[in-house]
Amino acid sequence: MAHILLVDDDVDVVARNIAALQASGHEIAACSTTAEAAESVRREVPDVVVMEGMLDGTLAGFDLARSLANEFPALPLIMLTRADEHFTARELASQDRDGWLPVQRYLEKPVSTDVLVYEVEHLLPGGH
């Protein structure tokens, strides 16, 4: 059983993802802001963080990902987001470089729960 932190302000997405991950035997914590997420990780480092890019009314999830990757370099991060809808063509082009976003998986919403469970389990130690 892994400890997964979900960071998203969409209560329906969180509820659906909690149900799917718990059904796969994982322990889930959830929060809806970057401040709550940072505090939660510092209190108890999870096995994987699944986060939204659009948090706190901005693209703060991207900053959270960079901060967590810097402070906890071995912590696997998955970003589920629709943030690409908010970037200009120039901003989208600038994303395509190494290190721009230090996440192991970047998935555009909507993401099926089967895909999420698969991705989480493959990032866990001993994953496939």
pLDDT value of position 85? 59
Return the higher-pLDDT residue of 85 and 124: 124
- Would you state the pLDDT for residue 98? 58
Q: pLDDT tens-digit profile of 58-104?
A: 889 989 999 999 999 999 999 998 755 555 666 555 555 555 678 99
User: Is a pLDDT exceeding 90 seen at residue 15?
Assistant: yes
* pLDDT attached to residue 66: 92
Is residue 112 within 8 Å of 19, Cβ to Cβ?
Answer: no
Residue 127 domain-assigned?
Answer: no
CATH number of the domain encompassing residue 50:
3.40.50.2300
Q: 17-50 pLDDT, tens per residue?
A: 999 999 999 999 999 999 999 999 999 999 999 9
| pLDDT value at residue 59 | 83
25: left (phi > 0), else alpha (psi -120 to 50), else beta? left
Beta bridge partners of 55: 58, 59
Classify 110 as helix, strand or coil: coil
Q: How many domains does the chain have?
A: 1
Nearest to 115 by CA among 41, 20, 44: 20
Structural domain includes residue 59: yes
Identify the domain containing residue 33 by its residue range: 3-119
Residue 30's beta-bridge partner residues?
Answer: 6
Classify residue 52: in a domain, yes or no.
Answer: yes
